[in-house]
Structure 1
Amino acid sequence: MAPKKGAATEDKLQLGRPGNNLKIGVVGLPNVGKSTFFNAITHSSVAAENYPFCTIDPEESRVAVPDERLDWLNAQYKPGARIPAYLAVIDIAGLVKGAAEGQGLGNAFLSHISSVDGIFHVVRAFADPDVVHVEGEVEPVRDLAIIHNELRLKDVAMLNKYIDANQRNIERMGSGGSVDDRKRKDDFATIVKVRDWVQAGNDVRKGDWSNREIEVINTQYLLTAKPVTYLANVSEKDYLRKKNKFLPAIKKWIDENNPGDKLIPFSGAFETALAAIEDPQAQAAFLAERGGAASAFPKIITTGYDSLHLMHFFTAGEKEVRAWTCRKGAKMTEAARSIHNDIADSLIQVDVMRFEDLKAAGSEADLKAAGKLIIRGKDARIEDGDIVYFRSGQGKAKK
């Protein structure tokens, strides 16, 4: 039956924690280039030695999210400060086969993955006799399957623990019962359903769940519920010639097991050399010598950011031009809370300039003269790239 005319459509909930301060973890087998990737992308100095478990405690850093719109606004307003949006990246030590049962430092590492919101899954796609591989030979598809299986097994174990702890009480309730009892039984049935799905070899994130089921799933912090971006670490030679013998098999495995997930090749060796050059002219010369090659990091960062269902809006003025992070589909009050709770709590309306309209007009004054300034209520949805001015009931505003 079609919905009644004018009936509100329920917003689809998202897997994962709500909020804007989300983190993405770098995951993979030992010695596949995770810490090398992390060092280069964050300009950090995490140890990256040629032996397993070099990284034990997770390291965290923030990377700026590139956006040409912010660059344009900066040139337009010439502010005192230019502040981009950021993505928090965490370097997590390598998993090994049997990690879900405590092999290696498995339980600790799996708990580190549980604390992040998304995954950069790094897989080694280069052969080098001087770099030890924990499984012996370089076989990326096998490595992908190992990590996938360990995360899945850990989810099954966590779900079974919940089921074992609650099953007897649920069975005692019988049929009927109070509203709270019925809710507990429904929640338990959802956990069993999710356990069966994962036990059959599927990731939670690939299931078709109702909003009520997603609410229950989100209380469990399951590893396979997190979005994944696959990063293939290739040699510098392969990266520059855009050809690698392992990539077709990696892509096939992803399409068969996790269709829709992104695969991005990068070279840890290339990115490390590039990151070590601080002078912009020297960087340009380095890239020119390599046929005009470019870093893969901007694409990796924006893809990871997008996988977390994040977007950003802007505030712009003489003091600063700034990108603020919020969840896709956020209302104006939620977006305002990214800036300050007081602004969100007393918000009345929002002046909105669409970036495309501002760029086409050439200036804020010309946009307003053309009647393109949009007034939105506090319950309206903010859209990616909006330039906003929040008007509050306490005389406070943020531009």
Structure 2
Amino acid sequence: MERSLRRNGKSFLYGEKFAWMCQDIVSSVDSVRDIIFFNDKEIEVLNKHLFLTSKPMVYLVNLSEKDYIRKKNKWLIKIKEWVDKYDPGALVIPFSGALELKLQELSAEERQKYLEANMTQSALPKIIKAGFAALQREYFFTAGPDEVRAWTIRKGTKAPQAAGKIHTDFEKGFIMAEVMKYEDFKDEGSENAVKAAGKYRQQGRNYIVEDGDIIFFKFNTPQQPKKK
């Protein structure tokens, strides 16, 4: 690493800081994965080097349809013990690829009947949620007369940066975010009802967006430079 840094004198200072960061990690933890919270700049640096131990892990254990439905397999406990020993805290999710394939080939009605008859459920929703959680990702929603859209952000993102996911001008000219929770919208039935219940909030630039927020951003349009 040091030789690589020396060959590129222009980025040596940047590389030196990165080298010190690596040294601190190696001296303090067994795995980069043990450090859960990196800031955005550190993530950008780490992503360039593709460290295997920096990647969060979710372990998917593929079972036969029969074993998945009866929730029993002789290897499952041993796999869980191995994960607990070598990657403490990591999630282990049993699933059946054969079952998931079969479900995809059925209509929605047939799928529901099959699951009820076998007293089981698809593992896909759990796998998707676990993947998002492991990657520190979450959704917020924007809604208008013609479109409802979900936007993916990193957990801990503040309102201006979330607005920037839609358009950079939204972040540059950010004024405020009008926010209601999805669960409140679902319970109350409409935006006006959420407002009447006092659950519609105006948030500033330090607001940390939460999973499931429905947001209307207010912003100033940046002035275009005058033509000479």
Give the shorter-chain TM-score range.
Answer: 0.7 to 0.9
Aligned to 1:187: 18
Q: CA deviation at 1:349?
A: 1.2
Moved more, 259-268 or 322-331: 322-331
The corresponding residue for 1:381 is 208
1:273 partnered with 2:107: no
CA contact (8 A) 1:230 1:262 kept: yes
Q: Distance in 2 between matches of 1:182 and 1:301?
A: 40
Q: Provide the residue aligned with 1:258 in structure 2.
A: 87
* Cα displacement (A) at 1:184: 5.1
Q: Percent identity of the aligned residues?
A: 40
2:118 equivalent to 1:287: no
Name stretches of at least 5 consecutive residues in structure 1 with no aligned partner.
Answer: 1-161, 171-179
**Offset at 1:185?**
4.4
TM-score by length of 1: 0.49
Aligned to 2:52: 223
* 1:244 corresponding residue in structure 2: 73
Structure 1 distance, partners of 2:153, 2:196, is 30
Query: Could you say which structure has the greater relative contact order, defined with CA pairs below 8 angstroms and 6 or more residues apart?
Result: 1
Instruction: Assess, with a 3 A threshold, how the Cα gap between structure 1 residues 335 and 249 changes in structure 2: closer, same or farther.
Output: same
Query: Where in structure 2 are the equivalents of 1:202-217 lying within 5 Å?
Result: 202-207=30-35, 214=42, 217=46
Q: Distance in 2 between matches of 1:357 and 1:210?
A: 31
- What is the rounded CA distance, in whole Å, between the counterparts of 1:246 and 1:163 in structure 2? 44
One-letter code aligned to 2:101: T
The 2-side partners of 1:381 and 1:330 are apart by 6
What residue is the counterpart of 2:221 in the other structure?
Answer: 394
Report the equivalent of 1:109: none
Question: By how many angstroms is 1:295 displaced?
Answer: 0.9
- Letter matched to residue 387 of structure 1: I
Of 150, 162, 169, the residue aligned with 1:323 is 150
The structure-2 alpha-carbon separation of the partners of 1:272 and 1:341, relative to structure 1 and needing over 3 Å to count, comes to: same
**Residues 348-380 of structure 1, C-alpha deviations (whole Å, 9 max, x = no match):** 111111233333433211222233321112332
Contact 1:163 1:192 in 2 (8 A): no
> Aligned residue pairs: how many?
218
- So what's the TM-score if we normalise by structure 2? 0.81
How far the C-alpha of 1:190 sits from its partner, in A, is 3.6
C-alpha spacing 1:293/1:332, structure 2 compared with 1 (3 Å): same
Cα deviation, 1:211-241, whole Å, max 9, x if unaligned, reads: 6994664542212101111000111110010
Give yes or no for contact 2:178–2:216 (8 Å, CA) kept in 1: yes
CA distance in 2, matches of 1:246, 1:233: 11
Distance 1:192 1:164, change over 3 A: farther
Q: Indicate the RMSD between aligned Cα atoms, in angstroms.
A: 3.0
Out of 163, 168, 188, the residue aligned to residue 361 of structure 1 is: 188
Q: 1:288 to 1:182 in 2, by over 3 A?
A: closer
Specify every segment of 5 or more residues in structure 2 that has no aligned partner in the other structure, as ranges: 223-228
* Aligned mates of 1:378, 1:212 — CA distance in 2: 17
Structure 1 residue 192 displacement after superposition? 4.4
CA contact (8 A) 1:230 1:263 kept: yes
- Residues 245, 366 of structure 1: CA spacing in aligned structure 2 closer, same or farther, 3 A cutoff? same
- Cα distance between partner residues in 1 of 2:138 and 2:203: 19
C-alpha contact (below 8 Å) 2:69/2:119 kept by paired residues: no
Give the letter aligned to residue 211 of structure 2.
Answer: D
